[in-house]
Structure 1
Amino acid sequence: MIKLSFWKPITALSLLLVSAYIANGQTAAKPDENRFTKVVLQQKLEEPMQFQILDGGKVLYAERKGKLKLYDPATGKMVVVAEFNVSREYVSKSGEHSEGEDGLQGVILDPDYAKNHWIYIYYSPKEESVNRLSRFTWAGGKLNMATEKKVLDVVVQREECCHVGGGMLFDKDKNLYLTTGDNTFSRSSDGFTPIDERAGEGPRDAQKSSGNTNDLRGKILRIHPEPDGSYTIPEGNLFPKGTPKTRPEIYTMGNRNPWRLTIDSKNGWLFWGEVGPDGSNSSDLRGPRSYDEFNIAKKAGNYGWPYFNGKEAYRYYNFATKESGAWWDPLKPTNNSPNNTGLNVLPPATDPFIWYPYAVSEQFPEMGSGGRSAVGGPIFHAADFKNAKYLFPAYYEGKWLITDWVRGWILAVTFDDEGKFISMERFLPNLTLRGPIDMKFGPDGSLYIMEYGNGYFKDLPEAELIKIEFNGGNRKPEVQATANKVAGPLPLKVQLSSAGTSDSDGDPLTYNWKITKNGKLVQTKTAANPEILLSTAGVYKATLTVTDPSGARNSKSVEISAGNAVPVVNFNFTKGNTSFFFPGNTINYAVSVTDKEDGSLANKKILPSQVSVSINYLSEGYDMTVVAQNQNKQDVGAQFAGAKALIRKSDCNACHTVDTRSLGPSFTEVALKYKGSKTAEETLTKKVINGGSGVWGDAMMPAHTGMSTAEVSSIIKYVLSLSEKKAAAKNLPVTGSYTTHEQLGQTNKGSFIFRAAYKDRGSKLAPAQTGESIVVLRNPTLLVANADAFDGIDFNGNKSVATPKEKGSFIQLKNIDLTGIKKLELAGTDKKASGAFEVRLDAADGKVIGHSAASVDGQKTSADLVSSAGKHDVFIVFAEAAGKVTAINIKDR
């Protein structure tokens, strides 16, 4: 760190040092998130693995199934450059075929590509048990396969999956780095180290590969390719050439599945992500819980696998006798496996730079929790770019941008000149990637990212190539376009609105609306919020284009259907509160439907069977109204919306799909296996929370201790439901009653959704419209953080405890139905609980309908309420600065 002596004259050298200090990112201001733009370059890729960027923004990338493709930004299209006949299967001793990770793994350009047109491909030949690094000559167009020169073969076993590696990188000395996986099936090891030394179990012993100094698997290799297609060994690899029982190509050993590499251009250090094992819990008899790692190699070294993970050692374990032995010594690890062909005494183990488990990491909490698969990413230095249009700002100077294939974040990691961790933070917190598998900066300064999608061994619709552009100058306007009506009968008068449109630079904006029908211009408007009149039936598109004085523009559209009125649907309660549910209470309801063209329920021109009616319970953590509204308008099976949202939020989709087997069984397979079992829900809920293996083979399912029993139970209910044939959902009657039984384990967390919907018949010119009515009943216990407004209230860090600061402080609940509510109770954390308070209607000084004295028994204080009807804003007004409130209990008795 540079220290300035402020009592000395500021010299030119001092100013230069200050500039350098700022350029290193140490004092540069963090840029606004809206200066970064996500640009989608290509969608619906097919198992993309690794890419390289050519001049002009072209992207050459490899797909695991064997295709090498080229994306051209000038045309917006991709073409197939070559197709390799690759091995993607493993064949067990019993002859069983299963999908593996092998295939076309990667591509990289030679440092002198502009002159020699050489590219290097890492792939798995169909007929040989090797993963091959080959050089080809390619100058555009189709790849001539006859130009192949085989550079290096990594001998592998193809009896069991997994771990291929495949990351490639050239350094400034034109040395080529290649990552290789341990080629070991580790999921039969209970989540611990796979060192099965029994005869015939070599595929399950990583000591044959990662821990073997005489094997190229489980390594990062460093070679210097030569013009004739051979290679030489650079100085500084782990074992000098000629060392008995070693391979000189090895730069690092003790790797499990190292992925994407980067080199810090400032110091030459090598960085990468390392995918770890699947165990969730530690054991005194076996060793640590599992970790993924992000690593730094300042020089050649041993990174520990399979004897160490994270910063912890495993114990030797005899798979034949089930007995544990000594802990491995990080200073002098030994490999005495019968599958080892290398040295017995290995180099000392090197600690990881960052390591993180399934649970929230104590050291690195910013990484979150859940499934994990460390990828890697680039280090930003402005000096690496010349005249880059989208050069990242100085704030990111020297930071390592890393990503995780499962968790989908990008983190910016700061470290010091000695390579010691300083901090990390989310880069673009509102950006969530879907299976990021490769990430690097392009010549234009943009951050390019390839997304594989969330799943295994299949084409996924979310797989895409994107880039993140930084704009340090004039920014495009942010546009919002809405209409007060998106459907209605003729003539249809519509008020268009640009409300929410903004410009981050504060520039004045001009507005232009174009209204089109079937692609033909109907009318234009130049006001920000114009009114339009549609007199003929059809579907119209109103497109708003907003332009700033520099010519930067952005657009957004809203679709309007004219010629068919939207049905009016109401879910009416004839008995019961419309804001809260009270366990065991019965609600009487009646649905009404009226449609201008179709008629109504009342006149029997609309039949009850045509109206969708559902009542369902949804779990915590989601906007229940939004979830319900996003259901297919005629789908009354919304009961599993919460479960599906939980699945999307967790790591379930990384290993399971609904109806096809992935890394784990499909949800439908699980449902059929346990169909009819009365204990299945409880058993599977415990298994998901605790983790386990053995039922569906050796695949290890991690523990999910961060999820509540109720959350997991809701997922299991959904999974088990898949054993039933999907008949049409049973409709509830349009008039009836419903008893709100509280769901297991969901105290103060869930909501009941009452929903009715009707889709009308539409016409030839105007599409059908759906009307719906939704009533959300919340749990009558409200966490204080979920109240609607506050005044004069102090909160703790996570807003779980509220403390009134003075007399007159209040907590507000908006638009609350008071029908049948008898009492309001506050729960607290100390003997003063909440202190004395009043309950007032519609204003902090409004009508008093209840009051309470201060608590004397410690935890709760309550106010009896005067009988009131209808919906009101409720104000809880405190008489003193006292107490700590955690929850508000609404009571009907």
Structure 2
Amino acid sequence: MRKIVLLAVVAIIGACSEHAPSDSSDLTPPEESRFVQEIFETNLYEPTELVVLPKGNKILFTQRRGQIFEYDIPSEQLRMYDSIPVFSTFEHGLMGIALDPEFKQNNWLYIYYSPVGDEPVQYLSRFTYSASGLKNEKVVLEVPVQRETCCHTGGSIEFGPDGLLYLSTGDDTNPFASNGFSPSDERPGRKSWDAQRTSSNTNDLRGKILRIKPEPDGSYSIPKGNLFEDNDPRTRPEIYVMGCRNPYRIGIDSKRGWLFWGDVGPDARNDKENRGPRGHDEWNVAKSPGYYGWPLFVGKNYAYNRYDFETGESFAKHDPKKPINQSVNNTGLRELPPARPATIYYPYAKTDIFPQVGSGGRNAMAGPVYYSDQYQGREKFPKFFDGRVPFFDWMRGFVFFLELDEEGQPTDWYPFMPNTKFNNLIDMEFGPDGTLYLLEYGTGWFSRNENAKLSRVRYVAGNRPPVLEASASVTKGTSPLTVVFDASKSYDYDGHSLKFTWDFDGEILNDSVVTYTFDEDGVYYPELVVSDPKGGKRSQQFVIEVGNEPPVVQIAIDGNESFFWPGRNVTYEVKVSDLEDEQNGEIDESKIAFEISHFQSSDQAEALGHQVPVAGGLELINSLDCMGCHKIDGPSIGPSYQQVAKRYQNEQNAVNYLAHKIINGGGGVWGEQAMSAHPDLSNDDAESIVNYILSLAQPKGDPLAGTFVTEKEEGRYLFSASYEDQGKGSLKPILERKNIWLMPYSLPGDDFDDSNDIQARGGRINSIYHGSWVSYESVDLTGIKGLNLKLNRVRPVIVEVRSGSAEGQLLGKNEIQEGENPEELTISLQGATGFHNVFVVFKKPGVKDQLIRVNRVEFLPESNQ
């Protein structure tokens, strides 16, 4: 198996076992242990969609920056099959891929991408698949877009049972100037901030799910049954569904013909009078064409107010029964079809309507519908999954297979592999053998991720392979490096004894926990195989880099490290140490990046990766061959990046010139050594590399020590420091970061991390009962003298503040007695310091009715420090 490696531990997991054929007639909900995930590849760079070729031996998957990879399953080999030059600024790029229903005969596949060039447009193109790459592009459909700002591309492609092609498109609208509500800014020059011009525009292809019939000559025709007839110049006949925000992943029921999609919603945490509802993600079912409301409605047709962004004046709420698009940017019909409510809808907070989805970040998606009689394979999914629809969330990590009634409403939620951690699952596809192929984007936005994976899930009816759980105590460090490898938590579902085989370049060890010392500098790939007596086995490979100790980055803050309040003087100091770099003298402080940033809302802080990205130039450099010829500072085959930055820092055309050289190669500027070409690199990525290099000649951010005054009342402050060492020999440099977030001492009632038996909405906790609690994770109580609750409704209650759990160490307690009617309740904390998981517990034994309501929770400082 070819292994893609980038700096840290990479787990390549394989599995095989003796087993009986799958009993596809079994309707019993399967145990999670019957599903085995085997990892084909890791370290992917922004993967987007995948397809499995009809023979079941190859997988194609796309990456946003234009690459198309092919994974050969029998040989376990990955190759870059082809690449398409794409415009990849903001969220654009290569978004979707699908095989033609007659792929076996015609070898056609369809790709949705952002072409390079001056014209802002997206292409849906048909290509011919060949062994040597894509051939014969025919642009089937063009979707005009804007490229002045982000966001929301959609880009999922699926074929229905009738051979019709469905394509999702995003609203192509910037959401960050509307406070998480409806982006409907009609002021001159603000078109890109008005989603009425796209999603609710009957004459625009954006914010839609389109349905067309591809024709053999590369054109398309309009099928019957779309939302609009093709004879009205104010409508687009391609539209099947309109009123979408970012329908990022769609699915089709091959027997019922129903369409499913997840729609990523806006960010407002609370309802706001005269603006509209808090944000919701949606998961939708369309049995027929329709309008789903965005940006006039969200969720269960919760209506936004019409709003004047110039004056701040609000007007009447939109009417879902008779929606009207009054925007000056609307080029379509004024009167829209009645808005349809979402099938499933959920905010950031927990919701009693759909408690299964939990709380946290949101990114709803849909997947393919399974029918066991359409697949042949010994390890295909059982009949239990027939007709069930995948509903998964990219952020929260859950996957449900939903059973739907004839109206398309969920009647049963089957949690799929709930104890398996999926790292931002972005696509899934059933192969011809009935196994499920998964693509995980990874946890870092706009970057290569070690936990970005291509994998397959098999259903094992007989002997189950062992569950391998192994870790390394350290993966990078100076030589000699002693590492403890621990697989003691591995186990076997069938109760078999396990055999452990550790292979250290031919040296074999057999205990569950082993210690091994790497004496020489270099990169090592120890491998563990855990097997049972029936032939079931799992394997995991580690990557151990010896010779370069990672730098240590610290931000020391005097006083509390969790909260700020207006006028707080935050005294801080950034400290960096590195074993190898300091052998050549002190750390060069000019190479330490440090910045203090403020985010107006917690939503912006959570959506940091979603905002206009600064592409990872350093990340790109490390993923290519650049470090073989260049160092950041110091001699090598080519000039150091510091030298390049100094030479070109004042050149007006430096970015274009250097980006061209990176892509096309060149020589003669710095000597006789020619620079290698990188023809598969997009121009945007090359410019990202150049911008990083040129930044080395610029002054770095905020001072590394000082006192910062927090002037704001709301939002979040981020103290962020990073340092990349110089590497050592053939070992790549190591980049380490340290972030400290400060949140306001006074939090809305519903701004907590977890809860039990409460209802929260509109910025407050509305329903509290005996035994209810809310919790705050990893809160620094240094300098905090107590908690103060701002109350909305007062009834007798005991409030306890505890550490670790609702039954943990008591930190403080107070009570409202019968007849008392305070507007707030303060709980003093005695001697609490350091970081705690803080639980605020509400009690009133013997009372079943609701207790108090809480508007805000304040962590009171001892002083303004």
Do both proteins adopt the same fold according to a TM-score greater than 0.5, normalized to the shorter chain?
yes
Of 731, 734, 744, 2:784 maps to: 744
Inter-partner Cα distance in structure 2 for 1:458 and 1:559:
20
Shift of 1:785: 8.9
Change (3 A) 1:323 1:669: farther
The residue that corresponds to 1:381 in the other structure is 371
Equivalent positions of 1:32-51 (< 5 A) are: 32-51=31-50
Change (3 A) 1:653 1:339: closer
Q: Match of 1:389, SS?
A: coil
1:260-312 Cα shifts (integer Å, max 9, x gaps): 11112331110011011122221221111111100000000001111111110
Q: How many residues align?
A: 603
Is the partner of 1:383 in helix, strand or coil? helix
Secondary structure class of the residue paired with 2:33: helix
Instruction: Return the TM-score normalized by structure 1.
Output: 0.59
Contact 2:267 2:603 in 1 (8 A): no
Which one of the candidate residues 655, 665, 678 is aligned to 2:608? Answer: 655
Report the equivalent of 1:553: 537
Question: By how many angstroms is 1:424 displaced?
Answer: 2.9
Provide structure 2 residue ranges, at least 5 long, that are not aligned to the other structure. 1-22, 473-483, 545-556, 564-576, 581-601, 617-691, 693-698, 720-746, 755-762, 764-773, 788-799, 818-844, 848-865
Instruction: Confirm or deny: 8 A CA contact 1:24 1:398 kept in the other structure.
Output: no
Seen in structure 2, the aligned counterparts of structure 1 residues 252 and 480 have a Cα distance that, compared at 3 Å, is closer
Q: What secondary structure is seen at the aligned counterpart in 2 of 1:203?
A: helix
Contact persistence 2:115–2:121 (CA under 8 A): yes
Corresponding residue to 1:198 among 187, 194, 201 = 187
Q: Which residue of 2 aligns with 1:66?
A: 66
Name the CA distance, whole Å, in 2 between partners of 1:216 and 1:260.
17
**TM-score normalized by structure 2?**
0.60
Q: Is the 8 A contact 1:280 1:702 kept in 2?
A: no
How many angstroms does 1:504 deviate by? 2.3
**Alpha-carbon distance between aligned partners in 1 of 2:718 and 2:283, rounded to the nearest angstrom:** 29
Q: Which amino acid aligns with 2:608?
A: C
Given the alignment, which residue of 168, 184, 193 partners 2:157? 168
Q: Do the aligned partners of residues 658 and 782 (structure 1) sit closer, same or farther apart at CA in structure 2, a change above 3 Å counting?
A: same
The 5-angstrom pairing of residues 687-836 of structure 1 reads 705-707=751-753, 744=784, 800=807
CA distance in 2, matches of 1:203, 1:505: 58
Q: Which has the larger radius of gyration?
A: 1
- Work out whether residues 212 and 335 of structure 1, in 8 Å CA contact, stay in contact via their aligned partners in 2: yes
For the residues of structure 2 that align with 1:536 and 1:108, how far apart are their CA atoms?
46
CA distance 1:287–1:552, shift in 2 (3 Å): same
Q: 1:367 aligns with which of 339, 357, 380?
A: 357
The one-character-per-residue Cα deviations of 1:732-760 (angstroms, maximum 9, x if unpaired) are xxxxxxxxx9552789xxxxxxxxxxxxx
1:429-475 deviation per Cα after TM superposition (whole angstroms, max 9, x unaligned): 22222222212222222222212222333333322212222211111
How far apart are 1:320 and its partner, in Å?
2.5
Match of 1:407 among 387, 396, 399: 396
AA aligned to 1:353 is T
Aligned with residue 352 of structure 1, among 317, 332, 342: 342
Q: Does 1:110 align with 2:109?
A: no
What does residue 316 of structure 1 align with?
A: 306
SS in 1 for 2:419: coil
Residues 284/104 of structure 1: CA separation in 2 closer, same or farther (3 Å cut): same
Q: Which amino acid aligns with 2:91?
A: E
Displacement after TM superposition at 1:196 (Å) = 1.4
Cα separation, 2, equivalents of 1:426 and 1:181: 28
| Correspondences of 1:388-427 after superposition (within 5 Å) | 388-427=377-416
Partner of 1:82: 82
Contact 1:332 1:345 in 2 (8 A): yes
Q: How far apart are 1:258 and its partner, in Å? A: 0.8
Question: Is the 8 Å Cα contact of residues 619 and 711 (structure 1) preserved in structure 2?
Answer: no
Q: Distance in 1 between matches of 2:814 and 2:749?
A: 33
Q: How far apart in 2 are the matches of 1:194 and 1:106?
A: 26
Distance 1:223 1:548, change over 3 A: same
Q: CA deviation at 1:162?
A: 1.4
RMSD between superposed Cα atoms in Å: 5.0
| Cα displacement string for residues 538-585 of structure 1 (whole angstroms, at most 9, x for unaligned residues) | 99999886654532234689999xxxxxxxxxxxxxxxxxxxxxxxxx
Distance 1:229 1:746, change over 3 A: farther
Q: Tell me the amino acid that sits aligned with residue 39 of structure 1.
A: E
| CA pair 712-669 structure 1, distance change in 2 beyond 3 A | farther
1:185 matched residue in structure 2: 174
Q: Look up the equivalent residue of 1:60 and give its one-letter code.
A: L
Residue in 1 that maps onto 2:130: 139
| 3-state SS, counterpart of residue 428 of structure 2 | strand
Kindly tell me: are residues 336 and 70 of structure 1, through their superposed partners in 2, closer, same or farther at Cα, counting changes over 3 Å? Answer: same
Q: Give the corresponding residue for 1:723.
A: none
Deviation string 1:590-643 (CA, Å, 9 cap, x unpaired) is: xxxxxxxxxxxxxxxxxxxxxxxx9999999xxxxxxxxxxx9999xxxxxxxx
Identity %: 40
Amino acid at match of 1:77: Q
2:211 is paired with a residue whose SS is strand
Q: Which amino acid aligns with 2:170?
A: G
The 3 A distance-change label for structure 1 pair 190 and 382 is same
Q: Which residue of 1 aligns with 2:426?
A: 437
Give the counterpart letter for 2:492 in structure 1.
D
Q: In 1, distance between residues paired with 2:519 and 2:46?
A: 45
Matched residue SS, 1:174? coil
**1:154 to 2:153 alignment:** no
Matches within 5 A, 1:206-245: 206-245=195-234
Q: CA deviation at 1:134?
A: 1.1
Q: Which residue of 1 aligns with 2:243?
A: 254
- Mapped partners of 2:846, 2:321: distance in 1: 56
CA separation of 1:542 and 1:615: change in aligned 2, threshold 3 A: farther
Query: What letter corresponds to residue 72 of structure 1 in structure 2?
Result: D
Find the aligned partners of 1:505 and 1:712 in 2 and give their Cα distance.
39
| CA positional deviation for 1:510 | 7.1
Q: Are the aligned partners of 1:218 and 1:256 in contact in 2 as well (CA < 8 Å)?
A: yes
SS at match of 2:373: helix
Equivalent residue for 1:808? Answer: none
Gaps spanning 5+ residues in structure 1: where? 1-21, 89-98, 484-494, 561-613, 621-631, 636-648, 689-700, 718-740, 748-780, 787-798, 802-812, 814-823, 832-881, 885-893
Deviation at 1:706?
A: 1.8
**Does the CA contact (< 8 Å) of 1:511 and 1:544 recur in 2?**
no
The code of the aligned residue for 1:40 comes to I
- Aligned residues of 1:685 and 1:712 also touching (Cα < 8 A): no
For residues 187 and 283 of structure 2, what CA distance do their matches in structure 1 show? 32
Greater RCO structure (CA 8 Å; 6+ sep)? 2
Report the 3-state secondary structure (helix = DSSP H, G, I; strand = E; otherwise coil) of the residue aligned with 2:56. Answer: helix
TM-superposed deviation, 1:167:
0.6
Q: Work out which of the residue numbers 241, 245, 264 in structure 1 matches 2:253.
A: 264
Q: d(CA) in 2 for partners of 1:536 and 1:203?
A: 56
Q: Could you list the per-position Cα deviations for residues 129-184 of structure 1 after superposition, in whole angstroms to 9, with x for gaps in the alignment?
A: 1111111111222223xx11111111112222111110100011110001111111
1:129 — aligned with what? 120
Distance 1:659 1:258, change over 3 A: closer
SS of alignment partner, residue 212 of structure 1: coil
Contact 1:370-1:651 within 8 A present in 2 as well: no
Q: 2:430, 2:107 → 1: CA distance?
A: 21
Q: For 1:138, what is the secondary structure of its paired residue?
A: strand
Quick one: distance in 2 between partners of 1:503 and 1:193?
51
How far apart are 1:314 and its partner, in Å?
1.0
Contact 1:50 1:438 in 2 (8 A): yes
Farther off after superposition, 350-359 or 259-268? 259-268
Q: After TM superposition, give the deviation of residue 417 of structure 1 in Å.
A: 2.5
The aligned amino acid for 1:655 is: L
Structure 2 letter corresponding to 1:705: D
On the 8 A contact 1:674/1:680 being kept in 2, the answer is no
Query: Which of residues 676, 679, 693 in structure 1 aligns to 2:707?
Result: 676
Query: 1:220 offset after TM fit, Å?
Result: 0.5
How far apart in 2 are the matches of 1:170 and 1:81?
23
Question: Aligned AA for 2:286?
Answer: A
Check whether the contact 1:151–1:231 (CA below 8 A) recurs between aligned residues.
Answer: yes
The Cα shift of 1:406 comes to 1.9
Instruction: Give the whole-Å Cα distance in 2 for the aligned partners of 1:148 and 1:543.
Output: 43
1:231 positional shift = 0.9
